[in-house]
Amino acid sequence: MKRLMFVAAMAAVVAGCCTGRCAKDSGTSFMKDALAPWIESGELPGAISILYNDGVEEVECAGWADVAARRPITLDDAFMQCSQTKGFCGVTVAKLVEEGRLNLDDPVSKYLPEFATLWVNGGETNGVKTLLRAKNTLTVRMCLNHTGGFPFEICAKQGGIRGGGWSGGAPLRQTAAIAAASALLFEPGTKVQYSNTGIDIAAAVVEIVTGKKWENYLKETVLDPLGMESTWFWPTDGHLKTQIEMYDCHDKAPATWKSENPMEQRPYNGPNVFASAGAGLWTTARDQVKFYKMLMNLGMGDNGVRILKEETVKSILAVTTRPKELGGYSLGLAAPIEDGEDQWFGHGGAWGTNCMVNWHRKQLKLWVVQLNGNPRPWDAARYKAADDFFKAQADNSAADAYTGRVK
């Protein structure tokens, strides 16, 4: 009986998993085969995978968006993309750089005067903290590539209390003001500390330059042009009915439903929610792939709308903007230190989502789950499945051999 239910569920999922775009179906089932054991055991409640290779794609919607309700997961289900929001902020800044309205090496204080004088935590002796005046100038670039010296979140947005978390606690300008009044962890530009705060500060700069709320500028210049109608900071009640539920992972046991994470608390569209550039956007897989296809296509959306110039993407999004000794990261996106045909860039999110693209080869790999904790034993299998997909597409004979595996 359990096996029959599983097969029926997979049939329902496949029926709701067509992208509706102009890519050719690969006819392969690499990801379906890789994930099936964990979906059947319940260790992996549900997942979405999109593998794309220069016009050919494999789309897999495996398992459930809601296990208890037996609701299959689909491309149109709403989910929290968390830190993948950072790349959206990076694109808005890149647009302003492209237009000559902003320079990445501009001092943040040029736009937000409260950053003119900054203090660095100099350590603690006998319970007394020492603050040292910062010697280096904090730039917009540093805010976006996590070298500004900021903590992950300001005190007003730390989780564990109702209204806390990255979408609760403070609007962007207030976040910036609190960060400016707080001690930095290190001299700007000298180390790396992953930080939602820095990204939020960059978004506050965008507000000053454009005279608009950052989220409205994002909607006007990125979301609407790309047709991302289901992507926003405040999901509607209708979208929440299709939410991919959150689950805790367990070792060799079915995942268990989790009401909420302290860093993203209910009500998800209530008055406690503020737009956060560091992590805050809700989306769907169908929507999210539009954004990453735009990056893969060097600024051109699948719908033919150009968001950025090719050179802009190549120069400040697809490669690092850090000093090389500090590793690869661009403007809100994980990116290589040196460009090359085998290099990917993109970003992940706290609950396990991830999307990476290779613009040279026109390749994309998107993964959607809503999970907390470990272990995640299926990861090795899905990585191999992705590798097998791209190898099959690179070899025509291999691609022909696998055609028809999905009926």
Residue 271 pLDDT grade (very low, low, confident, very high; cuts 50, 70, 90): confident
Residue 395 pLDDT grade (very low, low, confident, very high; cuts 50, 70, 90): confident
Q: From CA 359, how far away is CA 28, in angstroms rounded? A: 23
What pLDDT, on a 0 to 100 scale, did the predictor assign at position 166? Answer: 72
What pLDDT, on a 0 to 100 scale, did the predictor assign at position 24? Answer: 95
What pLDDT, on a 0 to 100 scale, did the predictor assign at position 2? Answer: 42
Averaged pLDDT for residues 333-352: 97
Q: Is the dihedral of CA 7, 8, 10, 11 positive or negative?
A: positive
Residue 164 pLDDT grade (very low, low, confident, very high; cuts 50, 70, 90): low
pLDDT tens profile 11-57: 444 444 555 457 999 999 999 999 999 999 999 999 999 999 999 99
Residue 396 pLDDT grade (very low, low, confident, very high; cuts 50, 70, 90): low
Q: Does residue 406 surpass a pLDDT of 60?
A: no
**Which phi and psi (to 5°) does residue 391 adopt?**
-65, -40
pLDDT tens profile 214-234: 999 999 999 999 999 999 999
Cβ contact 243:73 at 8 Å: no
Averaged pLDDT of the chain = 91
Reference 145, options 106, 195, 83, 179; nearest CA is: 195
Residues 6+ apart with CB under 8 A from 60: 17, 29, 31, 32, 35, 47, 48, 49, 50
Averaged pLDDT for residues 128-132: 93
Q: From CA 165, how far away is CA 381, in angstroms rounded? A: 32
What pLDDT, on a 0 to 100 scale, did the predictor assign at position 17? Answer: 55
Q: From CA 234, how far away is CA 217, in angstroms rounded? A: 16
pTM to 2 decimal places: 0.91
Residue 169 pLDDT grade (very low, low, confident, very high; cuts 50, 70, 90): confident
Residues 6+ apart with CB under 8 A from 146: 192, 193, 194, 195, 198, 329
Could you count the other beta carbons within 10 Å of the beta carbon of residue 241?
Answer: 12
Lowest mean pLDDT among 9-13, 282-286, 336-340, 357-361: 9-13
Lowest mean pLDDT among 146-155, 160-169, 246-255, 343-352: 160-169
Structure tokens at 50: 């999109």
Domains of the chain from N-terminus onward: 17-61+73-85+229-402 (3.40.710.10), 88-216 (3.40.710.10)
What pLDDT, on a 0 to 100 scale, did the predictor assign at position 310? Answer: 98
